[in-house]
Structure 1
Amino acid sequence: MTLDHHTDSIQIVLEVVTDQRRRTVLNHLRTTDDDVVHLDELVNRLPHTETPAKTSPQPPSHRQGPSAHDQLRLELHHAHLPKLDDVGIVEYDPRSETVRYHPTPRLEKLLAFIETELE
């Protein structure tokens, strides 16, 4: 399924760009000179926010979860990049952890508008 097949449905594009992390990923992919970008490069371009610690009866030293960096990497790998891949905006290879951007005029205009007018 590619975005070109959904040109009649702006809802798909809007849903994809509502998430700040996905917009940041797309903006990086739009502006990079590289054809292919590694997942780690994307992780390093996004702000890391700590997730609140979960309540647990264990002492704090035993409650250590993934770091903010690792959590972000997991979110990109399992959620954001597959979603972008499903609609054809990117081609994500989970084995090599590489991303290739497939721009469309509609998406480019929308991202430019959001960047200049709304953020």
Structure 2
Amino acid sequence: MSSDFTGVPGANSKNDDVHSDDLDAMMAVLADYRRRYVLYHLRNCETPVEREELADRIIDWDDRTTEHDKPDVLTELHHKHIPKLEEAGIIERDGERVLLDESDVPITSYLDLIRELEPSTSF
């Protein structure tokens, strides 16, 4: 069985611009479904998004999370997910507002691939 990941940086050639350490870091960022949900939402937004809106989107998309869990989701976003995405250079943050860093082309290719595999189709 042969997998064809044409168009996904680093998947077919060792000469691509994505190095093993970069790939490992990208996969670590994408390993958490809440960070993926944040990225799916930011990808569709042209203007910066408030943390509160990101929490609402996570609650909408995650059938394990309810409005009752919103304070915990907000805390996780603030202390865990947003800092990890910012550290990876995938988002830009201005206070409580975040925006996808469009210059990070590889992340969009990985999101395309992962989105096809996600159980939900509502993104």
TM-score under structure 1 length normalisation: 0.72
Q: CA RMSD in A?
A: 1.7
How many Å separate the matches in 2 of 1:15 and 1:77?
A: 18
| SS of structure 2 residue aligned to 1:46 | helix
Name the count of aligned residue pairs. Answer: 94
Query: CA offsets, 1:64-96, max 9 Å, x none?
Result: xxx410000000001000010111111223xx3
Give 1 or 2 for the bigger CA radius of gyration.
Answer: 1
Q: Is the 8 A contact 1:82 1:92 kept in 2?
A: no
> CA offset at residue 33 of structure 1?
2.6
Structure 1 stretches lacking a partner, 5+ long: 1-5, 51-66
Residue aligning to 1:7: 18
- Is 1:23 aligned with 2:22? no
Q: Is the 8 A contact 1:43 1:69 kept in 2?
A: yes
- Is 1:83 aligned with 2:84? yes
| SS of structure 2 residue aligned to 1:100 | strand
Percent identity between matched residues is: 35
How many Å separate the matches in 2 of 1:69 and 1:15?
A: 24
- Tell which has more relative contact order, 1 or 2 (C-alpha 8 A, sep 6+): 1
One-letter amino acid of the structure 1 residue matched with residue 105 of structure 2 = P
- Is 1:112 aligned with 2:112? yes
Structure 2 stretches lacking a partner, 5+ long: 1-16, 119-123
| SS of structure 1 residue aligned to 2:98 | strand
> CA offset at residue 106 of structure 1?
1.0
> CA offset at residue 101 of structure 1?
1.3
Residue aligning to 2:51: 39
TM-score under structure 2 length normalisation: 0.70
One-letter amino acid of the structure 1 residue matched with residue 23 of structure 2 = I
